[in-house]
Chains A and B, each alone.
Chain A
Amino acid sequence: MQGLFFYLFGTVAVISALLTITRRDPVTSAFWLIFCFLNVAALFATLSAHLIAVLQILIYAGAIMVFFLFVTMFLGKEKRSAERPNPVVFGVGVLTVGAIAGGLMRLVRSGSHDFGEVGPEHGTIEAVSRLLLSNYLFAFELTGLLLTVAMVGAVLLARREAKGARATRTPAGAPSGPAGVEEVADA
């Protein structure tokens, strides 16, 4: 049963990942990427990594993709990348992916790995939070500081655009930012 779900979600994830990189329209790509993330989340869930499955949906399919779509639609879709990919880059990409995939296949087939068995409770929310608040307490608390830094930085940079929009005198030759951003700052 688990095998069936694995192949189902795995196949769909790979197909939607391929569609993500082959669609011309960035918005279409983004939606395929969301679909890919959802399938990966389902894979996590079948591995009883509940917390990661939930985070995958909340953060990747939710927050990051909404942000991504917002920026894409906001900047306008007129600049679609119409040109074909550079064949050299394409070839190198295919070779690299092939090499990594081949290496992973060999590793799995050879059986010379000891990932170790984990119980069904291994990835539950309770197990992960226990780890976060014991072994990784310091890193967890430090993440709070990291978020504070990001917030202070965002305030600093965002306020700059707002000021640029209102300033009567902008330095010569230095536009204070893309016009669209200033409109938002004014609003």
Chain B
Amino acid sequence: MAGDPVTARTAIAAGFAALAALVIAADLMARRGESRFRPLGATLAGALRTRSGRIAVFAAWLWLGWHFLAR
């Protein structure tokens, strides 16, 4: 049975969903005891140790708010 053809828009949305799934999978993997890398939250907290890291992370956060909610 043939379904509706996959549009470019659907394929692009699926790509974003795949990226989100990748982030979740990597974070879950990092939380396993034998993992060799840290979860996203711990890595972000590590980036906040320095002033330049804090500026970069907070600037990115403010840009996200402006871009999605205000622009």
A, B from the same assembly: no
